[in-house]
């Protein structure tokens, strides 16, 4: 009897609960406000936050971010630990080894930035360049433009060599600019995701060194999907982002500095302008400075480091060469499909087509925006327009890491086939 009653009590209590929940849904802010001290807050809780979080399922086949595989999502769902706990420092050591593998480098000064690719970009330039020094930037899309602006903001003397989107630089052109401008650093984009070009690397490192210049390479859109050998190719500073080929959520950015780069950045006359990006501090946080103790600098994105570790583990298990080959095969499958439908690839020369991000010439008579909207609305497939100098000229398709397979390429092709049928075409 007692059990039955208390059981009923529970049911009753639940009923009451259910009722109050219902009333909160029906009259959200006022119901809550009336029970609290009146007048202490004048801004009500936002109604949208009282509804559950909703996110759609999409194929992220633009230039990034790309979809995150279940194993990496599971890492993000783990309870966090302290940013200086021993276990966390071990995970950071794993990340460091994973980056050394992915970059093919033995550099001790290898770590992950707390932030997106732009943070690595600013870290590289802020630490190695001082105000008044000469910088050379190769611009063949938006990333060179941004690097030039970042260097300008710290008072560097910025010189550029420029190609239209889709173009790349010969060694002769680079050497001529090195001779003319005597830069302390040369910035080049490896995978130009706004133009779809992968820049040939051979000989550029040696060329820079023979002119007493550091070689800085942006590999945010290409690392893991296209061959890069940091040590062998004489790259002094290399960085990437977590959300492209590595398939982690955005928010961490692997970076590495050669001995030569360390010598320059740790013997500067002035402190780097940014405290947050000061490699003196970051080297200590990541245990790269040989000191026995690590001191608090900032709180790293702990869940982001969990996911980055898993992404690097997946790459290590698969093997870099297998990953490079898979991206090449899938890109060729996509390119063949696009050409058979009458699309023109934006980058003419096959050997400089970026395997991770494909640029397609906007088909004559079509509005690129209408195509991207159609693919998203009817197929849940992301296709991007151009960016910076390539805007209005191209459509961009990214198939990176976990997303790089023929089934996904076929989904993109299907979405584009339907888009051509249904989007408005004007006479040209």
Ligand X SMILES: *Cc1c(COP(=O)(O)O)cnc(C)c1O
Q: According to the binding rule CB under 6 A, does residue 189 interact with ligand X?
A: yes
Q: According to the binding rule CB under 6 A, does residue 116 interact with ligand X?
A: yes
User: Shortest distance, CB of residue 38 to ligand X, whole angstroms?
Assistant: 46
Torsion of CA 168, 237, 273, 220, to 10 degrees: 60
Contact 203, 184 (CB under 8 A): no
Helix (H/G/I), strand (E/B), else coil: 394: strand
Annotated binding residue at 260?
no
Element (H, E) at 320: helix 320-340
Cβ distance to ligand X smaller for residue 218 or 278? 218
Beta-sheet strand order (sheet of 134-139): 109-114, 252-257, 237-239, 214-218, 185-189, 134-139, 157-162
Q: According to the binding rule CB under 6 A, does residue 195 interact with ligand X?
A: no
User: Shortest distance, CB of residue 355 to ligand X, whole angstroms?
Assistant: 13
Per-residue contact string for residues 326-345; x = within reach of ligand X by CB under 6 A: --------------------
Contact 164, 347 (CB under 8 A): no
Contact 385, 349 (CB under 8 A): no
Element (H, E) at 255: strand 252-257
- Per residue, the 3-state secondary structure of 100-146, as one string, reads HHHHCCCCCEEEEEECCHHHHHHHHHHHHCCCCCEEEEEECCHHHHH
How many CB atoms are located within 10 Å of the residue 18 CB? 10
Tell which positions 54-83 bind ligand X, by CB under 6 A: 63-64
Cβ distance to ligand X smaller for residue 189 or 408? 189
Q: According to the binding rule CB under 6 A, does residue 355 interact with ligand X?
A: no
**Residues comprising the chain, all counted:** 428
Per-residue contact string for residues 142-171; x = within reach of ligand X by CB under 6 A: -x----------------------------
Cβ distance to ligand X smaller for residue 191 or 304? 191
User: Shortest distance, CB of residue 219 to ligand X, whole angstroms?
Assistant: 7
Q: Which residue is nearest to ligand X (CB)?
A: 117
Interacting span for ligand X (CB under 6 A) from 14-22, 25-33, 165-173, 189-197: 189-197
Q: According to the binding rule CB under 6 A, does residue 356 interact with ligand X?
A: no
Number of residues lying near ligand X (CB under 6 A): 14
Which is it for strands 197-198 and 214-218: parallel, antiparallel or unpaired?
A: unpaired
Interacting span for ligand X (CB under 6 A) from 111-119, 256-264, 329-337, 414-422: 111-119
Cβ distance to ligand X smaller for residue 120 or 413? 120
Residue 381 makes CB contacts below 8 A (sequence gap 6+) with: 58, 59, 61, 375, 411, 412, 415
Q: According to the binding rule CB under 6 A, does residue 122 interact with ligand X?
A: no
- Among positions 71, 118, 182, 294, the unique one binding ligand X when judged by CB under 6 A: 118
- Among positions 28, 29, 200, 250, the unique one binding ligand X when judged by CB under 6 A: 250
Cβ distance to ligand X smaller for residue 241 or 401? 241
User: Shortest distance, CB of residue 137 to ligand X, whole angstroms?
Assistant: 13
Q: According to the binding rule CB under 6 A, does residue 221 interact with ligand X?
A: yes
Cβ distance to ligand X smaller for residue 158 or 220? 220
- Among positions 193, 233, 307, 384, the unique one binding ligand X when judged by CB under 6 A: 193
How many CB atoms are located within 10 Å of the residue 225 CB? 30
Residue with tokens 């004559």: 364
β-pair partners for 109: 257
Annotated binding site for substrate: 396
List residues binding ligand X (CB under 6 A). 63-64, 116-118, 143, 189, 191, 193, 218, 220-221, 241, 250
């Amino acid at each position: 009897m007692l059990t039955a009653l208390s059981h009923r009590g529970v049911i009753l209590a639940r009923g009451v609960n259910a009722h109050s929940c219902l009333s909160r849904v029906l009259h959200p802010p006022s119901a809550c406000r009336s029970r609290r001290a009146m007048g202490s807050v004048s801004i009500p809780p936002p109604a949208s936050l009282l509804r559950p979080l909703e996110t759609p399922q999409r194929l992220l086949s633009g230039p990034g971010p790309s979809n995150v595989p279940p194993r990496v999502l599971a890492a993000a769902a783990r309870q966090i630990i302290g940013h200086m706990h021993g276990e966390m420092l071990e995970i950071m050591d794993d990340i460091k080894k994973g980056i050394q593998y992915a970059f093919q480098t033995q550099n001790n000064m290898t770590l992950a930035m707390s932030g997106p690719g732009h943070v690595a970009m600013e870290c590289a330039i802020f630490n190695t360049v001082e105000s008044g020094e000469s910088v050379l930037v190769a611009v063949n899309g938006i990333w060179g433009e941004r690097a030039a602006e970042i260097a300008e903001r710290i008072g560097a003397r910025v010189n550029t060599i420029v190609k239209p989107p889709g173009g790349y630089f010969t060694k002769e052109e680079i050497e001529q600019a090195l001779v003319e401008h005597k830069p302390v650093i040369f910035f080049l984009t490896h995978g130009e995701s706004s133009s779809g070009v992968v820049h040939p690397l051979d000989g550029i490192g040696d060329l820079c060194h023979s002119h007493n210049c550091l070689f800085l390479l942006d590999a945010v859109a290409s690392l893991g999907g296209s061959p890069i050998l940091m040590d062998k190719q004489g790259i002094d500073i290399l960085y990437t982002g977590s959300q492209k080929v590595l398939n982690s959520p955005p928010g961490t950015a692997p970076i590495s500095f050669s001995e030569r780069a360390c010598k320059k950045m740790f013997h500067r006359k002035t402190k780097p302008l940014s405290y947050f990006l000061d490699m003196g501090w970051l080297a200590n946080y990541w245990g790269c400075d040989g000191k026995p103790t690590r001191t608090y600098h900032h709180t790293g994105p702990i869940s982001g480091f969990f996911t980055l570790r898993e992404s690097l583990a997946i790459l290590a298990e698969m093997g870099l060469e297998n990953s490079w080959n898979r991206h090449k095969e899938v890109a060729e499958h996509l390119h063949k499909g696009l050409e058979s439908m009458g699309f023109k690839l934006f980058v003419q020369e096959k050997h400089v087509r970026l395997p991770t991000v494909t640029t397609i010439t906007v088909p004559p008579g079509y509005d690129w925006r209408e195509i991207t909207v159609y693919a998203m609305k009817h197929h849940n497939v992301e296709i991007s327009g151009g960016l910076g100098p390539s805007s209005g000229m191209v459509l961009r398709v990214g198939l990176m890491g976990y997303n790089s397979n023929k089934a996904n390429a076929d989904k993109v092709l299907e979405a584009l086939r339907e888009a051509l049928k249904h989007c408005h075409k004007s006479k040209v």
